[in-house]
Amino acid sequence: MGNKQNIMKNIKNALISVSDKKNLKPLLKILKKYKIKIISSGGTYKRIRKLKFDCVEVSDFTNSPEILEGRVKTLHPKIHAGILNKRDSKNHLKDLKKSNYENIDLVIVNFYPFEKTLNNTNNHKKIIENIDVGGPTMVRAAAKNYNDVTVITSPNQYLELIDELSKHKGSTSLRFREKQSSIAFTETAYYESIISNYFNSFDHKNFPEKKVFHGNLIEKLRYGENPHQFGAIYSKNPNMNLKQIHGKQLSYNNYNDIFAALTISKSLPKNKGTVIVKHANPCGVSINSNNFESYKYALKCDPISAFGGVVSCNFEINKNLAIELNKIFLEVIIGNGFDKNALKILKRKKNIRLIDSKNYSLKENLKFTSLNEEILIQSEDFKIFTNKDFKVVSKKKPSSRQMKNLIFAFNICRYVKSNAIVLASDSSTVGIGSGQPSRLDSCKIAINKMKKFNLFNQDLVAASDAFFPFVDGIEKLVQSGVEAVVQPSGSIRDKEIIKFANETETVLLFSKTRHFRH
């Protein structure tokens, strides 16, 4: 196998057709050095000629003009026979000689910017016109015939190609061609997946018979959740619109917590609210109108759990808050920007990771969970709550203040691992119970947290992510001082819950939606 990897193929003819025309000059210089004939078309041909390099236009090479407004340029037997023929096949050589065709040994192609077009327009006709047909066809042909043909699909590969040609005096090794073939098939698959997903979206098909996924590698992580696991992060967006501006490399667990924190932060009112997350669970949230106070209230909910956690501020972080944030150990601080004085203060800690999320937004995308070869897919729980989403079922009606707190608590509740209970007062969480098999246990945890860190709370409300199956849960909450409760309906004991609320003069709201989060 070692000898096979060194099989060289000399390049005589190269076909270049690129949408991304940057960095062509160094490439053209090396092709000229080794007397490699260049074939090209359209804008690429014009650019090559402008750079003062010789080039044969595709229409002259094939003796067939471009037609259909440029839709048909390279879709010609002379092009594809030149790429696809097996050089060691007598029959293939015979066919080429019969038609007076010649080999094409190097294909340099990148595609019409379909993904960029999607980001820039909703015009369906313009989007369709930016589906490349000839480019992917040539790339697949060259990648299939990697034994004889070299294929390049990105300007990022030009330097490696230049080094390869220089090292082997105008030839490429089989090892190099195999590598580029693998990259090429990934590129065509990625390109087609974007088109596939666009058409499914256009036809409102979230769950087609066959589902294709695509993503760009952001970085390989040091390890996964634990050191013996591998990890990496991919994104449909090449940079995720998250900017790390200071600190150590982010880990798998950092990203997991960051996503949990941002999911909550971006559900809060614009430029308002602080979220503190530990192990992907919120341990404190506040939307106090004073941003500095919102952090203080969020921290007060559970300062012990906040140690070593992630703080996400849905606003720009200033100097005063930076001083406060530096008082405890945090893994990550997220802000909708940082002012200069805040950065100066926060950067005193060498390892703290600072993330700018001002350009990050949540989209109505699908959520994936996988095991082995199976993948669960669902739409995200991004519902925005209003008063209309709740029904007052108790005799006692909520005050406007209670209603505001109930909606706030219920919004946070859906981001807490089930079974979830959130206690809130003054637009801030004061106790959170999460991840328990028993809803009653979650109630007890939330109450204990409140008692441990908050001595007294007026207008105390509670939210549950699903219905109370028995009276014992809501009874425990009321005994702790809760005056109003919101829960989804649907239990066979809903009437018993309502009766208990009326007997204790507790405000009770039923939600029209349940919010499990596992």
The DSSP-derived string for 420-440 is -EEEEETTEEEEEE-S-SSHH
Task: Please list the ranges in the chain whose pLDDT falls under 50.
Answer: 1-2, 4, 455
The residues with which 110 forms a beta bridge, in sequence order, are 18
Pairing label, strands 309-313, 330-335: parallel
CA 85 to chain centre: 41
The residues with which 164 forms a beta bridge, in sequence order, are none
Q: What is the 3-state secondary structure (H, E, C) of 287-301?
A: CCCCHHHHHHHHHHH
pLDDT confidence of residue 208: 85
B/e letters for 38-48, b = 16+ CB within 10 Å, e = fewer, are bbbbbebbebb
Could you give the CA distance from residue 402 to residue 407 in angstroms, rounded to a whole number?
Answer: 9
Contact between 140 and 48 under an 8 Å Cβ cutoff? The reply is no
pLDDT confidence of residue 369: 82
pLDDT confidence of residue 6: 63
Pairing label, strands 374-379, 390-392: unpaired
Could you give the CA distance from residue 135 to residue 154 in angstroms, rounded to a whole number?
Answer: 12
Ordered by where they begin, the domains of the chain are 4-202 (3.40.50.1380), 239-356 (3.40.140.20), 387-511 (3.40.140.20)
* 144 has catalytic annotation: yes
As a residue count, the chain comes to 518
The residues with which 424 forms a beta bridge, in sequence order, are 429, 461
Could you give the CA distance from residue 331 to residue 278 in angstroms, rounded to a whole number?
Answer: 10
Query: What does residue 115 show for φ and ψ, rounded to 5 degrees?
Result: -65, -45
Q: Which of 144, 296, 349, 358 is catalytic?
A: 144
pTM: 0.83
Of the candidates 65, 51, 64, which has an alpha carbon nearest to the alpha carbon of residue 18?
51
By the 10 Å C-beta count (0-12 exposed, 13-18 middle, 19+ buried), 185 is classed as middle
- In eight-state DSSP terms, residue 249 is P
Q: Is 505 left (phi over 0), alpha (psi -120 to 50) or beta?
A: left
Could you give the CA distance from residue 360 to residue 313 in angstroms, rounded to a whole number?
Answer: 13
pLDDT confidence of residue 455: 46
Q: Which of 211, 236, 246, 279 is catalytic?
A: 279
Could you give the CA distance from residue 17 to residue 70 in angstroms, rounded to a whole number?
Answer: 13
* 50 has catalytic annotation: no
